[in-house]
């Protein structure tokens, strides 16, 4: 009986500090990103590196980024949902669409942000979230973008990671926006367990490492 209680407690603890441990109770909230309208010169880049709550907050702190939207990409099923990708069977990874002004921040800099805010050697996950839905993917739409990503991987493999980078380089096909309650999740839920224990520390670590890339206004 004591063993059963211990296992149950451990399972609940994992859920509390897991990106997938959040319930659907906020599905009906207003989508705060619905009013965002991309400008004529705005471009979009797509990245996946673990829980999208963390990744969205990181990119939104970068100067030149106008908006970041949480969603799903890289898989084979149509219209994925938070629950379905949580099974790890859809092929999709939690992905963030990064809307940016190319006159203020380059795709190359966004790639630097991507690799500099995760452990790209971790296969299928970023601590404490593991599974194919949390794998690291750098999406490209053009040959030029692919070349930038591959050049960065080559450099990091040589200088930092000793050839161990596990990030996938994938041709972008389709992005599915996540449910409304996921958008701006870190900002809207500052006291949520996972946000306090994982997301905020990850964001602060990035900010400390790349202060020159941050927006001047408080994030």
What is the distance between the alpha carbons of residues 126 and 85, in angstroms, rounded to a whole number?
Answer: 16
Contacts of residue 164, Cβ cutoff 8 Å, sequence gap at least 6: 121, 157
**Distance, CA of 190 to chain centre:** 17
Nearest Cα residue to 48 out of 125, 128, 112: 125
Nearest to 123 by CA among 139, 138, 136: 136
Q: How far apart (Å, rounded) are the C-alpha atoms in residues 180 and 17?
A: 21
* Distance, CA of 72 to chain centre: 10
What is the enclosing helix (H) or strand (E) of 147? Answer: helix 143-159
Which residues are 100's β-sheet partners? 43, 65
Is residue 61 within 8 A of residue 204, CB to CB? The reply is no
Please give the structure tokens belonging to residue 144.
């030029």
Which secondary-structure segment (H or E) carries 55?
helix 52-60
List residues with catalytic annotation.
51
Q: What are phi and psi of 27, to 5 degrees?
A: -60, -25
């Amino acid at each position: 009986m004591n063993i059963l209680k211990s296992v149950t407690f451990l399972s609940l603890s994992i859920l509390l500090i897991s990106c997938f441990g959040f319930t659907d109770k906020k599905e009906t909230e207003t989508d705060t990103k619905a009013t965002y309208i991309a400008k004529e010169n705005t471009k979009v880049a797509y990245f996946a590196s673990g829980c999208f709550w963390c990744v969205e907050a990181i990119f939104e702190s970068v100067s030149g980024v106008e908006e970041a939207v949480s969603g799903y990409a890289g898989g084979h099923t149509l219209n994925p949902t938070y629950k379905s990708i949580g099974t790890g069977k859809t092929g999709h990874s939690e992905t963030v669409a990064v809307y940016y002004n190319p006159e203020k921040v380059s795709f190359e800099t966004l790639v630097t942000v991507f690799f500099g805010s995760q452990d790209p050697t971790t296969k299928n996950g970023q601590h404490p979230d593991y599974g194919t839905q949390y794998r690291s993917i750098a999406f490209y739409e053009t040959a030029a973008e692919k070349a930038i990503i591959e050049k960065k991987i080559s450099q990091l493999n040589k200088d930092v990671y000793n050839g161990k980078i596990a990030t996938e380089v994938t041709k972008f096909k389709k992005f599915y926006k996540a449910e409304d309650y996921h958008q701006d999740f870190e900002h809207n839920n500052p006291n949520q367990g996972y946000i306090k224990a994982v997301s905020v520390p990850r964001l602060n670590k990035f900010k400390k490492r790349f202060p020159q890339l941050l927006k001047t206004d408080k994030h």
